[in-house]
Structure 1
């Protein structure tokens, strides 16, 4: 029984090594950095801060006229504006005790439109931390 188990583990280990060292894997590793793009490069987090009650109230009552409201939910608001060619997005995540405000930057409108739905889904799934 030990011999069968040992030989099975050895075969699995050796087959794993041949896949790891295959020409296909080497080709993938050399070509991947230029071809694989992630959403981490699509936008950049510029800043995050906790807002006080007075600041939150002021921003709700007197929003900046340059910002456009993208999402309005009871616990999440997403505002968008342009800074030169870049798109700046301000996300406000609200709880009963605090408001977390984070500012993100997208390279341009094309990148914003490409990743907008995914970005909003991530924020709706509470990707912003309140720490």
Structure 2
């Protein structure tokens, strides 16, 4: 779904839950087309289990290594601030966002963000 090819074949309504696991990470900062698509389709809830750059603390040695790894791999970046901006505009409601502190020596792959479009 990196290109959104075939999106017209996806059925989505307010009863739909969208779950991403280690897929948004591949988008780097090119997440806008998918985010715009989700905003347009208005699923009931969206869950992301992804490495979230903004949760890292550069003052922590392990997090600093994760930041470097994250940047080197060009993983998802800027997504959480984009969601927070949409929440400020009352376009979405962020239900949950937190680090799970679960991953490997290079990164935390399972940070959680849950949100839903506002009606």
Bigger-Rg structure (1/2): 1
Scaled to the shorter chain, the TM-score interval is: under 0.3
- Structure (1/2) with the larger helix percentage: 1
- TM-score normalised per structure 2: 0.26
- Structure (1/2) with the larger strand percentage: 1
- Structure scoring higher RCO (CA < 8 A, sep ≥ 6) equals 2
